[in-house]
């Protein structure tokens, strides 16, 4: 991480016209919408809303999953857009309870067969279904590439191509398409009587974590957002970031963001925003950021700085974030009323211990 300099950091609580933001009302009606609009136009691109003809088909409903402890559902989400139709599956293991339970939706990256084996023969630490269900939460997941491939073909056969055949400067990128998928799963979760609608969190790792944060910014029905090792254009401050830069991410993954974002490749100081503002759009809902000690490409310190700065928005709601002077002991979890943080020892990755910290954080607040 480079040295933090408040003098060149856009102020979270100052509106574009210079007005200081000092109340919840001003945050919710002026500053937050301003930030959402700016990040949509300049970084992630504008996604369409919920299609009118969205359909859910429960194609598997197994009341005897995980040795009878859970109900497994496979649900297919389908819609028709002006230029084509699309469908994608998601999976959910819901613990058997007499009351509706909270749910954690994983935006799953990586190889689907390894990460999302619903037969549970292959168990990935990135989706520890048995542990999540044992803690009383539904484990829900979809695979990100079922919305749009994670390569330069991304716009030709994907949800993008169902809505439009042309792209402009602020058209949605791949991350916005993956987030759009998470919002459609949320549309379904709103209809499931076994799920507590006020306790639905979204979880992502790395590019999936950038996506989880965007989902949380765009869809306030998610009451908790978990970002694991999200790095560049996720939770890490861009201005003071070591590791991956904007020029590098745009070079390797030009399709992740909207075209407007390219203009910052060599001039990040021209950004009228930074990632503390992205994180703050979650306020006053629960936000949890996790880093890993050896994940220099993501830059744990740049993530922690953004987390601390985002706390200003929570303070408007009389909720504390992470104290400014904190330098975290690895593997220990820190939490204010609204924001949690931990730094796991080890490399980039989503581990069972990360999930257990997330659930401890929720249990103490839900």
Binding to ligand GTR, residues 56-115 (CB under 6 A): 109
Handedness of CA 12, 17, 19, 22 (dihedral sign): negative
Q: Least CB distance from residue 20 to ligand GTR, whole Å?
A: 34
Contact between 12 and 280 under an 8 Å Cβ cutoff? The reply is yes
Contact between 173 and 45 under an 8 Å Cβ cutoff? The reply is yes
Report the Cα–Cα distance between both ends of the chain, in Å, rounded. 34
Contact between 243 and 298 under an 8 Å Cβ cutoff? The reply is yes
Mind giving me the DSSP string for 211-224?
Answer: HHHHHHHH-TT--E
Give 9 or 228: the residue with its C-beta nearer to ligand GTR.
228
Residue from 336, 242, 330 nearest 290 by CA: 330
Q: Least CB distance from residue 110 to ligand GTR, whole Å?
A: 8
Question: Residue 167: helix, strand or coil by DSSP?
Answer: coil
Give 206 or 227: the residue with its C-beta nearer to ligand GTR.
206
Q: Judged by CB under 6 A, which of 206, 211, 275, 291 binds ligand GTR?
A: 206
Handedness of CA 301, 306, 309, 311 (dihedral sign): negative
The site map against ligand GTR for 230-249 (x = CB under 6 A) is -xx-----------x----x
Tell me the number of residues near ligand GTR by CB under 6 A.
7
Three-state SS string across 331-354, please?
CCEEECCCEEEEEECCCCCCCHHH
Q: Give yes or no for a cis peptide into 284 (omega within 30° of 0).
A: yes
Q: Least CB distance from residue 248 to ligand GTR, whole Å?
A: 7
Give 231 or 338: the residue with its C-beta nearer to ligand GTR.
231
Q: Least CB distance from residue 205 to ligand GTR, whole Å?
A: 7
Q: Least CB distance from residue 217 to ligand GTR, whole Å?
A: 17
Give 139 or 232: the residue with its C-beta nearer to ligand GTR.
232
Question: Residue 130: helix, strand or coil by DSSP?
Answer: helix
Decide: is 207 part of the binding site for ligand GTR (CB under 6 A).
Answer: yes
The site map against ligand GTR for 248-287 (x = CB under 6 A) is -x--------------------------------------
Q: Least CB distance from residue 298 to ligand GTR, whole Å?
A: 7
Using CB under 6 A as the criterion, which residues of the chain lie in contact with ligand GTR when the complex forms? 109, 206-207, 231-232, 244, 249
């Amino acid at each position: 991480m480079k040295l933090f300099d408040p003098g060149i950091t856009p102020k979270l609580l100052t509106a574009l016209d210079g007005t200081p933001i000092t109340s919840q009302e001003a945050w919710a009606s002026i500053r937050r919408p301003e930030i959402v609009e700016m990040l949509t136009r300049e970084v992630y691109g504008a996604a369409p809303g919920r299609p009118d003809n969205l359909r859910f088909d429960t194609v598997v409903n197994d009341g005897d999953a995980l040795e009878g402890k859970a109900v497994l559902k496979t649900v297919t989400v389908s819609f028709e857009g002006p230029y084509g139709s699309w469908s994608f599956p998601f999976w959910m293991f819901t613990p058997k309870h007499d009351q509706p339970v909270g749910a954690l939706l994983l935006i799953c990256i990586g190889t689907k067969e390894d990460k999302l084996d619903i037969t549970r023969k292959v168990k990935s630490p990135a989706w520890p279904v048995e542990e999540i269900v044992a803690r009383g939460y539904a484990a829900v997941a979809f695979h990100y590439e079922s919305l749009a491939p994670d390569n330069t073909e991304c716009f030709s056969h994907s949800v993008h191509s169902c809505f439009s055949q042309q792209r402009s400067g602020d058209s949605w990128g791949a991350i916005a398409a993956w987030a759009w998928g998470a919002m459609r799963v949320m549309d379904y979760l709103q209809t499931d009587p076994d799920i507590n609608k006020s306790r639905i969190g979204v979880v992502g790792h790395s590019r999936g974590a950038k996506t989880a944060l965007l989902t949380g910014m765009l869809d306030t029905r998610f009451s908790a957002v978990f970002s694991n090792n999200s790095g560049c254009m996720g939770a890490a401050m861009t201005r003071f970031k070591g590791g991956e830069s904007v020029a590098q991410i745009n070079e390797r993954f030009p399709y992740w963001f909207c075209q407007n974002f390219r203009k910052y490749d060599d001039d990040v100081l021209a950004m009228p925003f930074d990632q503390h503002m992205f994180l703050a759009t979650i306020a006053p809902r629960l936000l949890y950021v996790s880093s890993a000690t050896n994940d220099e490409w993501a830059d744990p310190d740049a993530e922690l700085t953004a987390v601390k700065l985002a706390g200003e928005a929570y303070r408007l709601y009389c909720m504390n974030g992470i104290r400014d002077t904190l330098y975290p002991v690895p593997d220990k979890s820190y939490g204010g009323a609204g924001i949690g943080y931990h730094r796991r020892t080890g490399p980039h990755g989503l581990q069972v211990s990360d999930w257990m910290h997330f659930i401890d954080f929720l249990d103490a607040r839900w």
